[in-house]
Amino acid sequence: MEEVAIVYMVAGLSSRFGGKIKALAKVTDDETLIEYSLNQALPAGFTKIIFIVGRHTEQPFKEKFGNNYKGIPIVYCLQEYDENKRDKPWGTADALCCAKDEANCSFVVCNGDDLYGGETFEIIVEHLKNNSTCATAGYRLGNVLSEKGGVNRGIFKINGNIVESITETFNITKENLYSMGLNENNLSSQQIWGLSSNVLNELKERLIYFKKNHEGDRKAECLLPSELTELIKQKKIIIKIYPTKGKWFGITNPGDELIIKEQLKN
């Protein structure tokens, strides 16, 4: 059986979410958001679960899950940073590189506080099993805005079904969409990527370079979309995009989990 890992980025506490762990918010009477996501993902055929945790999330996750979920082994990778020199971790590219030794097969990496829908996982896993290229899902921007406040989204530039770039765009609301030169039909990244393990070597090199260039900067973050864009430009990776009509749910602001709870009931 071909191995494919699912990698969840769950290292952060959210200041906008009252300093709590968004992935552990209850979204049904008996499931947290991360459990709901795992239940959507696992039928796609994942053979390993990797949680990238931070020092504040490591213990809660280990207490919740232990070393397996529904028979699938779980490993934990710790994203650390020097609090004397930094106000926050080094960003999502750094988070993923923490899993370099464990993600030794093709893998899907995604946020632990988003729900992508089972079909999205199936499509990306299917792609990884049958192609040497990478893959991602593109969500219609109009479907992935928050009811309560602004959100940051990666906006895709595509050529046919191949990604040319991902531009991180900040504080998008339903009201300011058009003034930002965007519209509801733009394809947006919700940070779900199907990658091969050798991409991690390329990312690690870029991360070392980034940290060297931002030495002494307490807040600079090495972001996955930006680094993948650079690798695309250098012709080191090809990412095929699969537009999805699937419904995305995510927690950004307090109260979002109640909206999700209501929508999942329907």
What pLDDT is stored for residue 224 in this prediction?
A: 96
Q: Which residues are bridge partners to 14 per DSSP?
A: 20
User: Is residue 259 within 8 Å of 154, Cβ to Cβ?
Assistant: no
What is the domain-level CATH number for residue 72? 3.90.550.10
Report yes or no on 183 lying in a domain: no
Please tell me the distance from the alpha carbon of residue 139 to that of residue 123, in angstroms, as a whole number.
14
Report yes or no on 213 lying in a domain: yes
Mean pLDDT of the chain: 92
Number of domains in the chain: 1
Report yes or no on 84 lying in a domain: yes
What pLDDT is stored for residue 13 in this prediction?
A: 60
* Model confidence, pTM: 0.93
> CA-CA distances (angstroms) from residue 226 to 69, 92, 168, 169, 221?
32, 10, 8, 11, 10
What pLDDT is stored for residue 147 in this prediction?
A: 74
Q: What is the mean pLDDT of residues 177-190?
A: 95
Question: For residue range 83-135, what is the model confidence (pLDDT) as tens digits?
Answer: 999 999 999 999 999 999 999 999 999 999 999 999 999 999 999 999 999 99
Residue 44 has pLDDT above 60, yes or no: yes
Q: How do 187-195 and 106-111 pair as beta strands? A: antiparallel
Residue 17 has pLDDT above 60, yes or no: no
What pLDDT is stored for residue 108 in this prediction?
A: 99
Please tell me the distance from the alpha carbon of residue 24 to that of residue 34, in angstroms, as a whole number.
6
What pLDDT is stored for residue 177 in this prediction?
A: 93
What pLDDT is stored for residue 145 in this prediction?
A: 86
The residue behind tokens 């952060």 is 12
Which strand (E) or helix (H) includes residue 91?
Answer: none
What pLDDT is stored for residue 149 in this prediction?
A: 79
φ, ψ of residue 216 in degrees (nearest 5): 90, -10
What pLDDT is stored for residue 257 in this prediction?
A: 79
User: What single-letter amino acid sits at 225?
Assistant: P
- Among 110, 132, 138, CA closest to 199: 132
The residue behind tokens 């988070």 is 95
Residue 15 has pLDDT above 70, yes or no: no
What pLDDT is stored for residue 204 in this prediction?
A: 97
Report yes or no on 179 lying in a domain: no
Report yes or no on 225 lying in a domain: yes
Q: How do 106-111 and 4-10 pair as beta strands? A: parallel
Decide: residue 24, CB within 10 A, 0-12 exposed, 13-18 middle, 19+ buried.
middle
Report yes or no on 149 lying in a domain: no
Report yes or no on 182 lying in a domain: no
Radius of gyration of the chain (CA): 17
Give me the domain span that covers residue 90: 4-132+191-235+246-265
Structure-block tokens of residue 114: 């988003």
Report yes or no on 144 lying in a domain: no
pLDDT band at 249 (very low <50, low <70, confident <90, very high): confident
Positions of E strands within the chain: 4-10, 48-53, 68-69, 72-78, 106-111, 114-115, 134-140, 151-159, 162-172, 187-195, 239-244, 249-250
Question: For residue range 124-182, what is the model confidence (pLDDT) as tens digits?
Answer: 999 999 999 999 999 999 988 877 778 889 999 999 999 999 999 999 999 999 999 99
What pLDDT is stored for residue 69 in this prediction?
A: 98
Question: For residue range 194-213, what is the model confidence (pLDDT) as tens digits?
Answer: 999 999 999 999 999 999 99
